[in-house]
Structure 1
């Protein structure tokens, strides 16, 4: 004789399937939100790159410092304040970004922080590689604006902290500090400079051996939409299964309540 279905088993199945529907639909909604975020980033990139190149000066209004806008800076390099941003990979190779400020106005100590390029880590070496020297005298550099130095997600073991920016720069002996991330406010306090509220990622060729193939944010929002459709399809399958289990439970209950022939 067939074993009758347990009401407890049916309730558990309905509960699990209902939770699966909610979880899968939530994942679909999350993918749609991620797609909206990427679409907004793409719109910001296109809007910034459509604007005419901006000449950076101490009087440049912050509202003009739009992300991804082409910009030029004319001034003097301050290599004594250079910083190496660690764990910045390029084509799978570990290395650093070299950040150096360019002084725009000596009387007000106004400068813009420039990400000059990438240089590889010397495998097996304890010390950081020697950074290429910055040209002396008046220079002009071109690039794209960013609102901040792109952050790197930091992981470290319990009880140890990543190396932070020294309280004052430059360091004795001319050593370059190595940090994971660099906040403009902290950097301004350490250097005593008045920084523009933006960062310039250098794009022109300076023949200094640095790589200027800057990473671009992922803007493939169509991929997120595709993933969302898949999650919603899985949610629909789970919902159909929930309805099937419920319908079977209702039929069994009606058969049990039906009077004998």
Structure 2
């Protein structure tokens, strides 16, 4: 059968079938890409900086619409209230987030026996490779800008090392710092003190910026496009099957023609007399006188 498949016309047919199959595969990939689309595009409004005090209120539930919002706030850091969160990656390298408590000016104070006079918010200021590389936060009044994120869940059954926390969890941090806090935290992008940006993005050092962008929207599956993508794959396989089937039929025709030729060669010539090239029987021989 390979001899038949190597005929020039079937080699050309195979190249054509491969080309058709390639087009079908590309169409399948295009349909598959359309089958998974974001539920909603990234909201550009989250990139417009809004005041923290007008975006989120302490003591309230953290709304999903507030996540990823760029916010600004004025206040001060407390160098005594700083922890490291381990097992955080930066360019694929493990290290620590440096998280400091930030007292927000103008934030409403919470009521209650355990409430602090000021309301604070955890700020993830940057990343360090080693705990000893973590610097103290800027002193004095600071103009903070960063991305507002919901509180993380603390790791269960995990005892952090001294000066560390298992996660950027408000529930865990307020127990360490004994302060009232917003229900989320800020990943800092800029820290302006005395008119100069003193954030890791502006000041070279061991503390590196986090560079946390907006979270990608959720994905939804379009089952119709997914079905079409599978259908094009079937078509690609069918194109190759048609080529193989045509080659097989041509191979069988060659076999039939070869058998017919052998049959014709073995059959006697109809124009030849039956007694030609035959010896007469003994009783048919003439007797010489």
TM-score for both structures, normalised by structure 1: 0.53
Higher Cα radius of gyration? 2
* Structure-2 separation of matches of 1:57 and 1:111: 15
Pick one of 92, 117, 128 that aligns with 2:126. Answer: 117
Per the TM alignment, residue 142 of structure 1 is displaced from its structure 2 partner at its CA by 1.2
Change in CA separation of 1:165 and 1:237 when aligned onto 2, cut-off 3 Å: same
- Map 1:1-261 → 2, pairs under 5 A: 35=36, 38-40=38-40, 42-43=41-42, 45-50=43-48, 52-56=49-53, 60=57, 66-104=66-104, 108-121=117-130, 128-149=131-152, 163-165=158-160, 176-179=163-166, 181-204=167-190, 205-206=197-198, 207=203, 209=205, 210-216=207-213, 219=216, 229=225, 233-234=229-230
The structure whose RCO (Cα within 8 Å, separation 6+) is larger is 1
Q: Show structure 2 runs of 5+ residues with no match.
A: 1-30, 110-115, 191-196, 235-289
* Structure-2 separation of matches of 1:68 and 1:59: 12
* Structure-1 separation of matches of 2:186 and 2:126: 11
- Which whole-Å deviations, capped at 9, do the CAs of 1:27-62 have from their partners, x for residues lacking one? x99x96xx56x434x44x433224x52143899475
Per the TM alignment, residue 230 of structure 1 is displaced from its structure 2 partner at its CA by 5.5
Q: Show structure 1 runs of 5+ residues with no match.
A: 1-27, 122-127, 155-160, 167-174, 239-261
* Structure-1 separation of matches of 2:141 and 2:210: 25
Q: Which moved more, 1:102-111 or 1:190-199?
A: 102-111
Change in CA separation of 1:220 and 1:48 when aligned onto 2, cut-off 3 Å: closer
Change in CA separation of 1:67 and 1:218 when aligned onto 2, cut-off 3 Å: closer
Alpha-carbon contact 2:168-2:185 (below 8 Å) kept: no
Partner of 2:27: none
* Structure-2 separation of matches of 1:111 and 1:232: 53
Per the TM alignment, residue 111 of structure 1 is displaced from its structure 2 partner at its CA by 0.4
Per the TM alignment, residue 189 of structure 1 is displaced from its structure 2 partner at its CA by 2.5
* Structure-2 separation of matches of 1:178 and 1:198: 15
Per the TM alignment, residue 165 of structure 1 is displaced from its structure 2 partner at its CA by 4.9
CA root-mean-square deviation: 4.5
Per the TM alignment, residue 114 of structure 1 is displaced from its structure 2 partner at its CA by 0.5
